[in-house]
Amino acid sequence: MPFRNLALLGIDVGYSHSRATTGLAWSIGGDCDVARTHTDWERRHRHIPASAKFAVIAIDGPLTPPDAPDDLDRLCERLFTRGAFQKRCKPGLSQHGHGRALRKAAAETAAQVSHLSDATTIGKAVIPGTTIIEAFPNAFLGVLLADERFAMSKAPKRKKFDWLYDHAVEAGVFETLLGFLGWKNECLLRKVAIERDHEKRAAWVCLLTAGCAAVGKSEIIGDEAGGWIWLPPAELWTGWARQGLAESRAAVSARSSHAPA
């Protein structure tokens, strides 16, 4: 489906009840915008075009199946805690600590926006009857950056995402991605390139995640039990990322085969 006919929404969840830690980015045809807001629906919905129905909604937060236990150890997260991913774009495991709070916030966000989802269910959506998917901005950007980028300098742990984003802009990652997807939107590309706000940046990457999914060009990582993370097309992954994922999958498979029955 051409992007001019698509409505897409990206949400960086955030879970502070007092600060504006939610990022919302949308694209409808050639128009797009981004905002930073709070967790409650009363304030969130003000930044979303009225009456819009979105072909895909991508949320930066762990989305698990409705019957998944709170302490579920998710495969899609474990695969990115090994090898090169560990220092480059590792997720926080969501079965304990702050991860559980983020799971709760992601579930609440999905419930808030489920009525905005297009009637057509997307494959591998863990929330029945929706086109809501899980984004992971750090890995989304990380797998598109060449090995040499990571050798240049090390990013402070607390500023990892912004470091990845800055390098993605510098390396022309966004232009390459939109070109591969056939997403001709100069407004979007310009706004993404100049964005400096952390939450808004994350929302833009969630929007790009939704765009990949909408045209069937995502690499989808995970399983039915724990849910799926949606990432850029495998064709655009750099060598270290492809190798790292293959090694992680092999390690997890070997561990499972040796586990007691």
Confidence of residue 30 (pLDDT cuts 50, 70, 90): confident
Domain count along the chain: 1
Q: How confident is the model at residue 193 (pLDDT cuts 50, 70, 90)?
A: very high
Residue 154: per-residue pLDDT:
67
- Averaged pLDDT for residues 164-169: 96
Q: CA-CA distance, 56 to 64, in Å (whole number)?
A: 17
Decide if pLDDT at 101 tops 80: yes
- pLDDT at residue 200, rounded to an integer: 98
Question: What is the phi-psi region of residue 29: left when phi exceeds 0, alpha when psi lies from -120 to 50, beta otherwise?
Answer: left
Tokens found for residue 222: 């995970």
Of the CA atoms within 13 Å of residue 180, those in its CB half-sphere come to 19
DSSP state of 182: T
Q: Judge whether residue 118 has pLDDT over 80.
A: yes
Mean pLDDT, all residues of the chain: 91
Stated as kind and residue range, the H or E segment containing 145 is none
* 3-state percent breakdown (helix, strand, coil) of the chain, nearest 5: 45, 15, 40
What is the number of other CB atoms lying within 10 angstroms of the CB of residue 195?
20
Residue 261 has pLDDT above 80, yes or no: no
What confidence score (pLDDT) does residue 155 get? 62
Q: What is the pLDDT of residues 126-155, one digit of tens each?
A: 988 899 999 999 999 999 999 999 887 666
Compute and round to an integer the Cα radius of gyration of the chain.
Answer: 17
Percent share of the chain, pLDDT over 70: 95
Range of the structural domain that residue 100 is part of? 3-257
State yes or no: pLDDT of 121 exceeds 80.
Answer: no
Please tell me the predicted confidence (pLDDT) of residue 216: 94
Q: What is the per-residue pLDDT for 158?
A: 63
Of residues 173, 199, 204, the one with CA closest to residue 33: 204
Model pTM score: 0.94
